[in-house]
A and B are shown apart, each in its own frame.
Chain A
């Protein structure tokens, strides 16, 4: 289907068409219910929350908010459970099955329930492709993640503004969302972030996307509209960096960084890094997790929970005999080499998608590009 041109009210109709199918999540300002507001002047990340209207989505650069990955790859998932009788004589053997009522371990909301994600950026979409490479491409597919991937409709938005931390183009990405979504929306001229646009170029990328566009109508996009979209994209592209740092390009970044593993700059970086894992928790591509053993307070229910973790956490490399990466500089090296290599050798380019969240949310002012800068400062990357 060729691109369509939608007016603001038609975009709203598109949003409502999605809402009839299930909740629609989009980047939103504000806090979880019950959370205290931050101190004045403190920045809080935008978070994907269920929205009621298209105009409630805050279409800021991706780095201003949490990644969309949590809608598919959820921070905490119950994997398996067992129960047992606990008479006064002592607990009986564990048996597979749902925990007894009252033990109340968290069960997962139905992963096959349809939902939509509105306002996904090109970097987050590319990150989803990297998560797919880990969780859906190997010998085992994660059923929970795969079910959510099937259930989720993705409406991606072309960036109309380069954020201060953005560097997608330096990782082989683009401000224009690539495949792996249902619709790509490009706001044509308007206010920052596209919220002020009057017209939107909408390109279906799947049968589901085509059906949605059919439903709301719009008109075929003329040559002028396509040219206007290209102009928007061109201006964003011009504002984005072309290389990660100096001569570091996506094709050679991993090799060059690997040659600097003995650099003293790592000690300096490790001295500044707090090991808090904020970079991993805001990274749209980080797929690593722990499996945590849980037991109910009455000891009659046990379950296993998958929880996000980070290779920057000291325990990450712990074995029965020793900790493979007790040293923080080695955890940083491990992290950087992974971000600079393709995910599972499946995706092109780097694992890093250049969203800039690690540098935006690092309390120590580090991040992927800052790490590369330190390495380069010390004699320059070869």
Chain B
């Protein structure tokens, strides 16, 4: 960039100004933004990757990409819940507004390695967003995969994301979609199952041999993984996508470090085999409790 003396180009921190072309509310606090990167920047990404999304004067945060990697118009979608200083103004953006992106970053879901396998997608809450590109990409190349089963849990019927698409995916992509909610408030109507997402394991048809991925709040992923391990799924067939604070997105800032692993660069997608037994220190070692806890002799060996 000429005129900005002191900057080295190419600058990995330089975000690109992008136009919001649609902002569709999903729930009372969640919006899906459809973003058009400038034509010169072909925003090529793979399912499971994330962008650093920012507003000048407000801040920047990693947000997973929720759209089809093969979108013919090269549009990028982010499903954003209003929880913090940045995400609140992001959910109020209107078509025509500017949002700043840099990326994509992170290791994607290894779809190529999953070819010819059955897929089990276990999702909770906003965790459906990073899995949506998997559904769309696998659905488009449907013949490459075996059976596909999506389990999705939300807090209430009003918290369901992509509500209309869920039924359409089942039909168009020939996949099984099972949805549950934790609770039904008096003012909402729900005819489906009630209970946490792992309750759907009782009804699911997926069996060990399928590749399973879990994405959602960490507590949900913990029970999802444990349930699958208990049912005989090997750790090498289980995948998760993790969320941590990130300042850079490519392994420099250290904020997302889990021991020697950096979520932004080595993840956010991990095979459970890579994380099981690893030692990292957090107040609530939620995921580390999967498979009997992190502090055994096996843990020390893997440091």
Contacts and interface: CB of A to CB of B under 8 A. Distances in A.
Contacts of A98: 1, 3-4
Contacts of A320: 61, 83-84, 87
A378 interface: no
Interface residues of B, number: 54
Contacts of B299: 258
A97 B265 contact: no
Interface stretch (A105-113, A162-170, A366-374): A105-113
Interface stretch (A6-14, A20-28, A331-339, A353-361): A331-339
A304 B60 contact: yes
Contacts of A111: 6, 8
Contacts of A2: none
B188 interface: no
Given A261-B281, A327-B283, A80 B255 contact: no
Given A138-B265, A293-B57, A320-B83, A81 B4 contact: yes
A56 interface: no
Nearest to A288: B254
A325 B300 contact: no
A76 interface: no
A339 B97 CA distance: 45
A326 B199 CA distance: 32
Nearest to A110: B6
Interface string B186-208: 00000000000000000000000
Nearest to B217: A321
B283 A330 contact: yes
Contact of B259 (A134, A135, A325, A341): A341
Interface stretch (A210-218, A227-235, A311-319): A311-319
B252 A135 contact: yes
Contacts of A322: 284
Contact of B283 (A142, A290, A306, A324): A324
B252 A289 contact: yes
A259 to B, nearest CB: 5
Contacts of A270: none
A345 interface: yes
B251 A254 contact: no
B244 A258 contact: no
A107 B7 CA distance: 8
A336 to B, nearest CB: 9
Interface in B78-119: 83-84, 87, 97-98, 100
Interface string B42-74: 000000000000001111110000000000000
Q: Which 3 A-B pairs have the closest CB atoms?
A: A288-B254, A108-B6, A143-B8
19 contacts: A98-B4, A139-B250, A139-B265, A143-B9, A143-B12, A144-B8, A261-B281, A289-B252, A290-B247, A290-B253, A295-B56, A311-B257, A317-B245, A317-B255, A319-B243, A326-B283, A330-B282, A337-B280, A337-B281
Given A287-B252, A319-B245, 4 more contacts: A81-B4, A142-B252, A255-B303, A291-B253
